[in-house]
Structure 1
Amino acid sequence: MFLQGFGYDPSTNDYLLIHVFQSLDNPANYIEFFSLKENMWKEVDATSFTCKNNHNYCFDTQSGIALNDSIHWLASCPDTDIPIDVIIAFDLRKRNIFQIPLPPNFEADFSHICILGELLNIVKGYNFHSIEIWAMQKYKVQLSWSKTIVVSIDDIQMLYFSPICSTKSGDIVGDNGYDALAKCDNKGKFKEFRRYFGGQFGLHTTMLTYTETLLSLPCANEQAAEGTRSIIS
């Protein structure tokens, strides 16, 4: 499996599970999503979608992040003279794939995306001493990207710092992918360090943010079953 994501479509009050598949013997992508409300898998037309997963990106680039009713991933489009790194997104309302350009001349190796301050951000960890955080100030506008923070990892007491979320006061909370959390301010200055798991180095953990709700998930049947499939162009 190439990419996966889960998100909410407010226009239909539905939750969607998205899969983008790519096999080693077939260069074409296969995109499908499961509608929890309709209890059905649906296929999306992917004939013009040629982006691939880039294994040089950091951490788990398989799982998408939600913003503006879309799920986002970092990928590479090799079908050009020079391969271009981009953010690809699945529109939960329109049920289609689109691309968001990265900053001009930006090399996305050892990078990942996240949401900070309700903005799309890309985190570039090009060495073991610091990371750069770039924010897209205006959604889908390439020239609105700006480098906002450089975080010194040497001050955080971790080998790597992967931002997860930001607080109301603008502080950034991140983890090292294994057993610790750290917090820095909006200038990249270290504030707090917490170890949360005493496991051995090499055991990877994934942390996500979520919003609690008392509402039930919409579903056609109490027990989901294999449904019919249809094509969306």
Structure 2
Amino acid sequence: MDVIVSFDLMESKLIEMPLPNNFDQEIRMASGLSVLGELLSFWAMDYDNNRVEIWVMKEYKVNLSWTKTLVLPLDHAITNPYFNPICSTKNGDIIVTSRGTRLVKYNDKGHVIGHHSFCHSPSEVIMYTESLISLPGDNDQVYGGDTN
């Protein structure tokens, strides 16, 4: 069974979280994780049904809170391996990278409302959010438990 493994900074331990209950793992050909808004997001390409499903975890670490928020048509705008949702707007639009050379904006119904090509060779685009959380240093105990 596929799971998401995360590191809880507050408790300094690894946590396993299952994928959405209603997600059909047999249809997944390509998938990934991102953060949309402030929510953990999981996307998966479904080539059998010619679409991409995007799920968000509305309550962190609560498996039943996974909600399918968007289904995008698998068309000329979306291709693997360079598809990645990178951010969402307050009104539910999302921006994804596609082909490593395009940004595509979808509304909350899954329709393309804008796109922009930004170069001729594949690139990676990521979102950065500044944080005041300090990560443990080399001498700090990270995983808990006995160090002997």
Separation (CA, whole Å) in 2 of partners of 1:145 and 1:109: 20
Q: CA deviation at 1:134?
A: 1.2
8 Å Cα contact 1:117/1:170 also seen in 2: no
Aligned 8 A contact 2:79 2:99 in 1: no
Contact 2:29 2:47 in 1 (8 A): no
How far the C-alpha of 1:169 sits from its partner, in A, is: 2.5
Asked if the contact 1:114–1:121 (Cα under 8 Å) also holds between the matched residues in 2, the reply is: yes
- Give the structure 2 partner of residue 102 of structure 1: 19
Alignment check: 8 A CA contact 1:177 1:206 kept: no
* Matched residue, 2:104: 182
Give the share of equivalent positions with the same residue, in percent: 37
- 2:118 is the counterpart of 1:206: no
**Cα separation, partners in 2 of 1:89 and 1:192, compared to 1, 3 Å:** same
Equivalents in 1 of 2:130, 2:40: separation in Å? 22
When residues 95 and 137 of structure 1 are mapped into structure 2, their CA distance, relative to the original with a 3 A threshold, is same
TM-score (norm 1): 0.51
1:97 maps to a residue whose letter is: L
TM-score by length of 2: 0.76
State the match for 1:18 in structure 2.
none
SS at match of 2:96: strand
Aligned AA for 1:102? L
Q: Counterpart of 1:192 in 2: which secondary structure?
A: strand
Could you tell me which runs of 5 or more consecutive residues in structure 2 were left unpaired when the two chains were aligned: none
How far apart, in 2, do the equivalents of 1:193 and 1:143 lie? 34
Q: 1:144 to 1:212 in 2, by over 3 A?
A: closer
CA RMSD of the aligned region, Å? 2.9
CA distance in 1, matches of 2:53, 2:10: 32
Tell me the amino acid that sits aligned with residue 114 of structure 1.
S
Q: CA deviation at 1:121?
A: 1.5
Segments of 5+ residues of structure 1 without an aligned counterpart are 1-83, 219-226
> What is the deviation of 1:212?
5.6
After TM superposition, give the deviation of residue 187 of structure 1 in Å. 1.3
Q: Greater Rg, structure 1 or structure 2? A: 1
